[in-house]
Every structure is written in C-alpha cells, then in structure tokens.
A and B are shown apart, each in its own frame.
Chain A
Amino acid sequence: MSPARKPGARREVAAVKTDPRERLRRVLFLVPYAVQHRGIPVKELAAKCEVTEKVLLEDLDFLLGVGCPPFAPDDFLDLYVEGDRVYVALHQSFSRPPRFTESEAAALGAAAQALGGEGKDRALAALRQSVPRDRRKSFDELMGRIYAGSPPAPGSVLGRLQRAIAERREVRLRYFTATRAAEGDRTVRPWTLAQRFGHWYLYGFDLARDRPLPFRLDRIRECTLGEARFEPPSAAQLAKARLFSETQGEPVRVRLAARAAAWALSRPGVALVARDEDGGAVVEVPGASEDWATRFALSFGGDAEVIAPASARRHFAEAVKRSLARHS
C-alpha cells in the first residue's frame, strides 16, 4: 500500500495554477506519446504539448499522484526523467489517447471542409467514427455550426496535390501566371500547402526556376502526378521558407471614406495610419503590390483611393481610366 504517496503528490499539485481541464487533456496525450516515444527529450515533449518545460515537469509531478484503487505502489502511474529524457514505467492503461471529442473532430473537420479534396468525405466519415458513439450526433450538429470557407480548387486538383505531398512525388501543373496573364506548365516538387490572407498556396520547388515558390491554388487549372520522387526539404530550407518576398520600399497607403474604413480595417494585414475627423482613415498595407493596392481600393467603389507611393497612385489612376473607358 502506498497511501503516503498520494497526499504528497497532492501537495505538489495544489501549488500549480493551470487550467485543470486543459491539463487533463494534455496528460491523456502525453502519457501515451511518451510510451510510444520511449526516452523522448523533455524539451521535445514540451514542444509537442505546446507548454514550457516547467509546465511539463509539473504535469509529470501531477501524474505521479494518479493511480487506481487500492493505490498499491504498482497501481500508480510511474514516469521518470533521466538525463533530460522522459520514461514511462507504468502507464495504467493510458497507452493510447482517448477518442476525439466532438469539438476536436469538428474543428479538424471544418478545416478539412474548407480545404477540400477528393478524400474529404472519407476523412470526415473517419473522424466521425473516431468520436465516442454517444457524441456522434453532437459532432454532426457541430459540423453544421462552423463553416471555414469553400475549397480553393477542384477536388481532383487538391486530391492529386495531397497525394503527391504524402508520397513525395513531383507534379506537373497547368498554372495561370497573373503578371503575364497567361497559362504555362510548371514541374514542381510539392512540399506543402499553406493559407495566408484568405488564399491557399502550394509551396514547392519549381524545377525550371531552381528555387522554392508559392503557387496560388485557385490559379492551378490542372495537376498531374509524375513518377519522380523527391527528398523532403531540410529543416534549414523550411526555416527560410516564406510565401511572400521581404517587404521592400515604401508601403502602399490608401485613403478611405468613413463608410469603407470599418470594412478595410477588419481585413488582415491592413494597418491604421491616421483617422480623419469624419470617420475616414488612411491605412497602410506593407508588402502589397501595386496591382493588389489598386484592386483593394477599387473594391470599395468610389470610397477609397491609393495615395502613396507615387507609382502606386499612377497605377491606380491608369486602372480607373481604363475601366471608365470600358464603361463609356
């Protein structure tokens, strides 16, 4: 019997101020993860759980007090840290995490719905099956309560890209290049998909251009899988990876009337520079191209104009002139 161990462990726990529910969810993952990855470094396990090493060590202390009746020594969870590595000696049936809760499955499901792909329905059905039977109705209901956007490309294009990423196979793309307003073929090693400012991108190594580049998914007309395989990018290559090039030169500034200001400021990436007395505003959009700034200002009808830099204002003025000519 080890009743002495339990009160001791409780004293440790009392000093810790963390969200108890979050802690429970975390430990239900970290115990099986440490079982599966024997001797995982403390640092790595903390990073995986997205907590500091201190919080992780507090979690491990807390777990030492967990067990089941009759609370004999072998009835407790037993974990230890040796040489900054975590070992689980007794897992007390926590060798695998519990099923997805309905909100875990629904959050992942809503994200998957918004990306799409041929396998979307299979993935959603599998998620549903992984929720406890009693909570599946609640999962269905929740899936109807969150909508994170529409897929950016046809299911077939996305399905092939997802397969190519999973199998590390090169792809051939039929791609529309906006700056040249023309379609062309690209051969790419697809590294990943990413989403910024409401747009999805394929990020991968363009063989002809000999460098990694982003490709907007909604500009990919066709995608075919090649036979050639590739090695995954190195950690150093990925650390350097950016979807957009470094911001250069003077940022674009746009003046907005009061009616447009609230809408503009609620868009990501738009920073307020000055507020007018009448509720209007001047905003700045670092890294925005002249093309983007023109479209952005025109999307507010007559309520916005590009004011700086001079070249962006000229670009805007010319677009207005061309559009006016088309409507005359």
Chain B
Amino acid sequence: MQKAERLLDLAAFLLRAAEPVSWREIQEQFPADYGGSEEAAVRKFERDKAELLELGIPVRWVSQDEDLPAGYLIDRDEFYLPNLELPPEDLALLYLAGSAALAQGAFPYAKDLAHALNKLSFAARAPGASETAALAARHLSSAEEGEPGRAGGGALAHQLEELSAAVMAKKRVHLAYQGAERRARTERDVDPYGLYQSGSAWFLVGWCHLRRDVRTFHLARILELSVNPAAPRTPDFAVPESFELHALATRETWEYAIHAPQRCTVRLEGPVSPEARASFGPRAQVREEDGAVVVEVTATNAEALLRHVIALERAQVVAPAQLRQKARAVLAGLAERLA
C-alpha cells in the first residue's frame, strides 16, 4: 500500500476504534504493511506515527488499566482542531496578518501558513467579516503584474522554505554568500538558528563555521544553498540557550557592533511625522524642545545613523561634533556633484 494511503487508513482505523488497539491487532489489520521481520515492522510503524504527528495527528500509546487494554489510540479531543474561542477582533488579527504575510510571496513556512489559514475557518465561530477582509488583504498585499521583484520572489520563497525547514529540523546548511562591502563570494557551513525580517528583507541568523561566530546573512545575497540531507530527523546542532533572536532582529543599523558606544543627538524640526519619530526605535530617548523633537541614541555604527538622519526631512546631526562634520562633508560632496 502507498504510504499516504496507509497513513490515512491507519488514522481512520485508530479514530474509529472504541478502545486502544494492540500492536498485534494493527499488524493483523495491515498485514502487507507491517509484516516481515518484527524489528523492521516496528521501525516502519514508528516512522508512520512520527509522520502522522507531523500532520497534526497524535497517535498515543496507553498502558493497560482497570477499564482499558494497553494499545495505541488517537484521542479524538487531541485530534480535532478545537474552536479557538477568540473574540472577532482577535480572529481578524490572525486572518489579516496571515493573509498579508502569505501575499508577500516569501514567508517562512509559507505552505504551512496557507494550511493554517484554511483551517481557521473551522476554528472560528463566525469568521464572515474577517474572511472577506482577509481576501482583500491578500489581493492588496500581492505584488502586481510587471512589478520589479515579482519574478525574483520565487527564488526567495524557495530559499525561505528550505531554510525554515532546516531551522525546524536543526539541519546544517552550506551557503555560497556574496558579501555586501567587498562583494566577494565565500562558502561556509552555517547552523541555522533563526530567520527574521527587517525592512521587508529576510535574514538568516546562525553559527557560522567559517567565522566561528553567530552571523547574520541577507537572503538576497545567498547565491547557493544546500541543506545537509543525511539523517533528516536527527538534529545536527543544538541552539545555545542564551541565543535571543528578538534582540538581534530589532537592532537598528546604528546598533551594529562596529566601534565603541557613542552617544549621539539628532534634532528634527517640526512638524515631525509619527513614523520619523518612531524610526529611531524603542531604545531612543525622545523629547520635545521649542517645537522640535530631539532624539538621543547610543550608536556603535555612527555612519549608519548619519545615513538615516540625512534621509529624513528637516533632520540634522547635532552631536558628536565629529559626526556632524562628517554629515556636512557627505552633503557637500553630493552638492558639488549635483552643481
């Protein structure tokens, strides 16, 4: 029997059983599948159980008690998707966030996300308005015909799919990577710890065996990618307990560790848009001063702060003086070229 069919047959059999089913009975009912040597049959059954669990179907072994014999069962309460019991606005959050993410064309576990969104209609009592809004979210969030980047979406989506599977299974990956600054191609093994999105680009974070350190890789610059195909269910590494993806993912560019910490002051003349104010991140100290907004941040990559500030309307670097001078030099250079 084909595996897909066997798995469904087995699930249907265990779901219908009134009490736990012994291994012997399973063998009798599926003689062609779990026949042969006992050791091989048990191994095959264990693999099938693992695959069913990966599909969201938990097969459980229960020991004998006063009422029931020992055996395998699928607990119906543990199998069927329950109602999420969420208020309508929380369902709207799940529908809208999931639909917009899926429409991006590249999102970790994108196929799983599509399944999850489908299943939501069972988990929600009255999803009507949210389902309609989710369709619209998907339409509006999708790349349009002829839009640059649309064609490239496929390659990125494929990389994200491979990497997200490697993150979950903790499988080592091999990358050919193009550096941004030197544009040199390097090859390296990486233990993929996690994936994050920043400014609509995706990044891989992991232990780089070449640099012997935790490194971040821009997915658009991964030229080639292969996942260790050996022993797919056996992890190649463990993620250190101290690893914190959130801290890395929410770093501002001026917080990358390039030099010693330096306190910097920026002034924005009013009216200041909420997004300009928010663009300095959650760790910035922001105060109002004579109708202007003064922002203080600690930078370990002051050049990145400079680039951020000169791209904002009505903004200037106030301190340190050296950074202000540098901003002036950059702008003067541009002005000279444009004259």
Please list the residues of chain A having a beta carbon within 8 angstroms of any beta carbon in chain B. Answer: 6, 9-10, 13-14, 20-25, 27-29, 32-33, 36, 48-50, 62, 65-70, 77, 92-94, 96-108, 110-112, 114-115, 117-120, 122-123, 126-127, 129-135, 142, 144-150, 158-159, 162-163, 165-168, 176, 178, 181-183, 191-198, 200-201, 203, 216, 218-221, 232-233, 238-239, 241-243, 258-259, 262-263, 265-271, 279, 284-286, 295-296, 298-302, 305, 313, 316-317, 319-321, 323-324, 326-328
How distant is the Cα of A98 from the Cα of B239 in the complex, in angstroms?
29
Residue contact A148 to B136, C-beta cutoff 8 Å = no
Q: A194 and B136: CB pair below 8 A?
A: yes
The answer on a CB contact under 8 Å between B331 and A320 is: yes
B310 → chain A closest CB, angstroms: 5
* Interface flag for B8 (CB, 8 Å): yes
Q: How far is the CB of A44 from chain B (nearest CB, A)?
A: 13
Alpha-carbon distance A94/B180, docked complex (angstroms): 51
**A-B contact list, 23 entries, CB within 8 Å:** A13-B2, A21-B54, A23-B4, A28-B56, A33-B121, A67-B12, A92-B12, A103-B109, A108-B98, A108-B116, A110-B101, A122-B90, A145-B193, A145-B245, A148-B107, A166-B92, A166-B133, A193-B100, A218-B278, A220-B274, A286-B148, A298-B311, A323-B310
Q: Which residue of B is nearest A106, CB measured?
A: B109
| C-alpha gap A255/B295 in the complex (Å) | 31
Kindly list chain B residues whose C-beta atoms are within 8 Å of the C-beta of A259: 180-181
| CA A101 to CA B57, docked complex, whole Å | 9
Which of the candidate stretches B36-44, B63-71, B301-309 sits at the interface with the other chain?
B301-309
Encoded as 1 (CB less than 8 Å from any A CB) or 0, chain B from 107 to 144 comes to: 11111111111111111000001101111110111011
Taking a contact as CB atoms closer than 8 A, the residue among A98, A182, A317 that contacts B338 in the complex is A317
Say yes or no for B154: interface residue by CB 8 A criterion: no
Q: Residue on A with the closest CB to B195?
A: A146
**Nearest 5 Cβ contacts at the A-B interface:** A198-B200, A119-B90, A266-B220, A271-B148, A194-B140
Known: A148-B107, A219-B275, A298-B310. A166 touches B54 (CB 8 A): no
Q: Please determine whether B310 and A62 come into contact, CB atoms closer than 8 angstroms.
A: no
Main secondary structure of the interface of B (DSSP, over half): helix
Which stretch of B77-85, B254-262, B283-291 is in the interface? B77-85
Please give 19 more A-B residue pairs, beta carbons under 8 A apart, in addition to A9-B5, A99-B79, A165-B130. Answer: A23-B4, A25-B55, A62-B5, A93-B16, A100-B119, A104-B115, A106-B112, A111-B113, A119-B89, A126-B85, A142-B168, A163-B88, A168-B129, A181-B273, A182-B271, A219-B274, A241-B139, A259-B181, A296-B311
Determine whether B317 belongs to the interface, using a CB cutoff of 8 Å to chain A: yes
A149 touches B197 (CB 8 A): yes
Known contacts A101-B55, A195-B104, A299-B308; decide if A123 and B333 are in contact (CB<8 Å).
no
Q: How distant is the Cα of A144 from the Cα of B275 in the complex, in angstroms?
A: 27
Known: A148-B101, A324-B328, A324-B332. A163 touches B274 (CB 8 A): no
Chain A residues with Cβ under 8 A from B20's Cβ? Answer: none
Is B88's CB under 8 angstroms from A166's CB?
Answer: yes
Complex contact B250–A150 (CB within 8 A): yes
Interface residue range, chain B: 35 or more
The yes or no answer to B212 lying at the interface (CB within 8 A) is no
Number of A-B contacts defined by CB within 8 Å: 398
Q: Mark B170-185, 1 if CB is under 8 A from A, else 0.
A: 0000000010110100
With A67-B12, A104-B56, A132-B56 as known contacts, state yes or no: A323 contacts B90, CB within 8 Å.
no
Q: How far is the CB of B197 from chain A (nearest CB, A)?
A: 5
Question: Which residues of B lie under 8 Å from residue A319 when comparing CB positions?
Answer: 313
Interface residue from B5, B130, B200 paired with A197 (Cβ < 8 Å)? B200
From B109, which residue of chain A is reached at the shortest CB distance? A107
Q: Evaluate whether A36 and B16 lie within 8 angstroms (CB atoms) in the complex, with A99-B80, A110-B108, A144-B194 already known.
A: no
CB distance from B100 to the nearest CB of A (A): 4
> Are B245 and A321 touching (Cβ within 8 A)?
no
Whether the pair B122, A97 counts as a contact (CB closer than 8 A) is yes
Contact at A50–B55, with CB atoms within 8 Å? no
Are A302 and B333 interface neighbours, CB within 8 A? yes
Docked CA distance A66–B194 (Å): 38
Give the CA-CA distance A194 to B136 in the complex, in Å: 8
Cross-chain contact B129 with A165 (CB below 8 angstroms): yes
| Neighbouring A residues of B312 by C-beta, 8 Å | 295
| B96 touching A114, Cβ below 8 Å | no
B62 touches A (CB below 8 Å): no
Contacts of B328 on A, CB cut-off 8 Å? Answer: 324, 327-328
In the complex formed, the residue of B with least CB distance to A195 is B100
Q: Confirm or deny: B227 has a beta carbon within 8 angstroms of a beta carbon on chain A.
A: no
Q: Chain A residues near B239 (CB, 8 Å)?
A: 145
B81 to chain A: which residues have CB within 8 Å? 96-100, 130
Say yes or no: A103-B12 contact (C-beta < 8 A), given A134-B58, A299-B307: no
Q: How far is the CA of A150 from the CA of B300 in the complex (A)?
A: 22
B158 cross-chain contacts in A, Cβ below 8 A? none
B7 within 8 A of A: yes
When distances are taken between beta carbons in the complex, the residues of chain A under 8 Å from B149 are 268-271
A77 to B30, alpha carbons, bound, how many Å?
17
Question: Which of A6, A50, A131, A146 interacts with B196 by CB under 8 Å?
Answer: A146
Q: Which listed residue, B84, B88, B195, touches A145 by the CB 8 Å rule?
A: B195
Instruction: Tell me whether A117 and B168 are in contact (CB under 8 A).
Output: no
Q: A24-B4, A279-B183 are in contact. Are A162 and B136 (CB under 8 A)?
A: no
Is B319 an interface residue when CB atoms closer than 8 A count as contact? no
